């Protein structure tokens, strides 16, 4: 057993996974959790690993990116996914959990571990002399935001109150879309999705009557109006806003035009410009599919409207999740620039693997870019002028040739092989 002690800030999904992984490797851990002394507006209970919103860990189907990531995590010996399996509730092909049981079981597993000491305190500083994993989540305490800012420099942290959906390029109907910018300014920067009057009215009616997520953490998105709220101001409000049809003289005078903007340099992902939304995920798919070019669109991220704090990852961490400025400090979970429960767990796991390797005098590692976890690490550490958090999705993997249907299986098979090689080399 080693005597080294590692500090983990935040006993959420990433923090608990990291703590359990390190404890298993014989590393002593001080897990600092602010609850019950302080609770973020999103957290309601005092348990560790609290799931703040949907109880779904998304698909288990191997030919989805989320299913592929789960397969990778199982190969890496993920602790929280195993606990999730033990308290799952029926949810078709998704892994959904009883959130109270999940939190209780994770808390029990952490408390049972003799190498972990849970300390209830609001961390307001980062000890750069110690080995530290910061995973205080997207609604972390402001004092820690200040501590991170002073460690990494101004502008290293970002916040959003709203995010627009992102779709895969190959799911867009290119026969119903065209490249170009309004008034020809910007070449082919945008992919435009036109609607005629009948299509627009059908879309509009569906949008204003669609089901919204109840705003439980209130008052967080004054600066950025959801598209459905703007639409409710009048039938033409969007046609004077994000859907204005002007500047496309050669495109057959469309009645309304949604613009899509490239999300990554490989142009495999596009975001819906100005479509930050608070609609339920299923409703986003239903309503936005009424835009002809998006009829069969696949969403890698749905629009969300809640406070989210994340680091400007490409500027301040490397793919192994270490701060460029301070190699003792790792950032994991949603704060690192990934988005989602499973993605947060995954980065907690990787941070623990790397902390443990450093303590053993070994180099840090990053899974191959053909794996979803490796691709996520690559994405968050690649220069990006408008960096936004990223979900697991096949659009961030190196492209693969083949028919669309087979391609997903190929992504899975390639990841499976790459992760097997990675695990055997650890």
- Provide the CA 10 distance to its chain's centre, in angstroms: 17
Comparing CB distances to ligand FAD, the nearer of 320 and 370 is 320
The interface region with ligand FAD, picked from 21-29, 200-208, 313-321, 339-347 by CB under 6 A, is: 339-347
Comparing CB distances to ligand FAD, the nearer of 288 and 302 is 302
Q: Cα-atom radius of gyration of the chain, to the nearest Å?
A: 22
CB of 257 to ligand FAD, least distance (A): 31
CB of 381 to ligand FAD, least distance (A): 17
The interface region with ligand FAD, picked from 26-34, 79-87, 104-112, 244-252 by CB under 6 A, is: 26-34
Residues 6+ apart with CB under 8 A from 186: none
9 in contact with ligand FAD (CB under 6 A): yes
DSSP-derived pairing of the beta strands 190-195 and 308-311: unpaired
E strands, 196-268, in order: 256-262
105 in contact with ligand FAD (CB under 6 A): no
CB of 155 to ligand FAD, least distance (A): 20
CA dist., res. 211 & res. 283, Å (int): 7
The interface region with ligand FAD, picked from 82-90, 132-140, 271-279, 286-294 by CB under 6 A, is: 132-140
Cis peptide preceding 38, ω within 30 of 0: no
53 in contact with ligand FAD (CB under 6 A): yes
The interface region with ligand FAD, picked from 130-138, 151-159, 290-298, 352-360 by CB under 6 A, is: 130-138
Comparing CB distances to ligand FAD, the nearer of 34 and 317 is 34
CB of 278 to ligand FAD, least distance (A): 11
HEC letters along 283-302: HHHHHHCCCHHHCCCCEEEC
Phi, psi of 24 (to 5 degrees): -60, -30
226 in contact with ligand FAD (CB under 6 A): no
Number of residues that bind ligand FAD (CB under 6 A): 36
For 140, the token pair is 């972390």
CA dist., res. 195 & res. 176, Å (int): 9
CB of 147 to ligand FAD, least distance (A): 8
For the chain, the 3-state helix, strand and coil shares in percent, each to the nearest 5, are: 40, 20, 45
Comparing CB distances to ligand FAD, the nearer of 220 and 297 is 220
The interface region with ligand FAD, picked from 27-35, 70-78, 168-176, 400-408 by CB under 6 A, is: 27-35
Residues 6+ apart with CB under 8 A from 361: none
Question: Helices (H) and strands (E) in the chain — how many of each?
Answer: 12, 16
Residues 6+ apart with CB under 8 A from 242: 227, 230, 258, 259, 273, 274, 275
Question: Of the candidates 227, 294, 335, 358, which one interacts with ligand FAD according to CB under 6 A?
Answer: 335
122 in contact with ligand FAD (CB under 6 A): yes
- What part of residues 340-359 is at the interface with ligand FAD (CB under 6 A)? 340-341, 344
Q: How many residues does the chain have?
A: 426
3-state secondary structure of 261: strand
13 in contact with ligand FAD (CB under 6 A): yes
CA dist., res. 89 & res. 141, Å (int): 32
Beta bridge partners of 167: 270, 299
- Provide the CA 123 distance to its chain's centre, in angstroms: 24
CB of 135 to ligand FAD, least distance (A): 5
CB closest to ligand FAD, residue no: 12
47 in contact with ligand FAD (CB under 6 A): no
The interface region with ligand FAD, picked from 35-43, 255-263, 403-411, 412-420 by CB under 6 A, is: 35-43
For 233, the token pair is 């101001």
CB atoms within 10 A of CB 215: 13
35 in contact with ligand FAD (CB under 6 A): yes
Residues in touch with ligand FAD (CB under 6 A): 9-15, 32-35, 40, 42-43, 52-54, 122-123, 135-141, 143-144, 217, 306, 333-335, 340-341, 344
């Amino acid at each position: 057993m080693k005597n080294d002690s590692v500090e983990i800030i935040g006993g959420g999904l990433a923090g608990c996974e990291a703590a359990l992984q390190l404890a298993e490797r014989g590393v002593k851990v001080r897990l600092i959790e602010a609850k019950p002394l302080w609770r973020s507006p999103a957290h309601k209970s005092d348990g560790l690993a609290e799931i703040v919103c949907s109880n779904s860990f998304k698909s288990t189907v191997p030919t989805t990116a989320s299913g592929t990531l789960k397969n990778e995590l199982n190969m890496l010996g993920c602790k929280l996914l195993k606990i999730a399996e033990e308290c799952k509730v029926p949810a078709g092909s998704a892994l959904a959990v009883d959130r109270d049981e999940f939190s209780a079981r994770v808390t029990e597993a952490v408390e049972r571990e003799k190498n972990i000491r849970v300390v209830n305190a609001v961390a307001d500083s980062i000890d750069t002399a110690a080995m530290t994993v910061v995973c205080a989540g997207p609604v972390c305490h402001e004092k820690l935001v200040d501590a991170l800012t002073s460690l990494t420099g101004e502008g290293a942290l970002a916040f959003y109150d709203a995010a627009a959906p992102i779709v895969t390029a190959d799911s867009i109907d290119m026969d119903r879309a065209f490249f170009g910018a309004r008034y020809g300014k910007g070449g082919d920067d945008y992919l435009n999705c036109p609607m005629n009057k009948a299509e627009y009215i059908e879309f509009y009616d569906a949008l204003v009557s669609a089901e919204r997520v109840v705003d439980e953490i209130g008052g967080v998105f004054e600066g950025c109006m959801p598209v459905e709220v703007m639409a409710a101001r009048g039938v033409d409000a969007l046609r004077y806003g994000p859907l204005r049809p002007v500047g496309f003289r050669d495109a057959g005078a469309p009645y309304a035009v949604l613009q899509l903007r490239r999300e990554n340099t490989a142009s495999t992902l596009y975001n819906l410009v100005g479509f930050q939304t608070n609609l339920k995920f299923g409703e986003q798919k239903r309503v936005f599919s009424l835009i002809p070019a998006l009829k069969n669109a696949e969403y890698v991220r749905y629009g969300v409207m809640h406070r989210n704090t994340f680091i400007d990852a490409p500027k301040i961490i490397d793919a192994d999740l270490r701060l460029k400025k301070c190699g003792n400090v790792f950032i994991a979970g949603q704060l690192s620039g990934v988005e989602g429960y499973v993605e947060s767990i995954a980065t907690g796991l990787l941070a623990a693997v790397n902390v443990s390797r450093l303590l053993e005098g070994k180099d840090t590692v990053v899974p191959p870019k053909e794996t979803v976890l490796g691709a996520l690490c690559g994405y968050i550490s690649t220069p990006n002028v408008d960096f936004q958090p990223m979900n697991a999705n096949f659009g961030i993997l190196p492209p693969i040739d083949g028919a669309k249907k087979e391609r997903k299986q190929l992504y899975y098979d390639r990841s499976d092989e790459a992760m097997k090689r990675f695990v055997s080399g650890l």
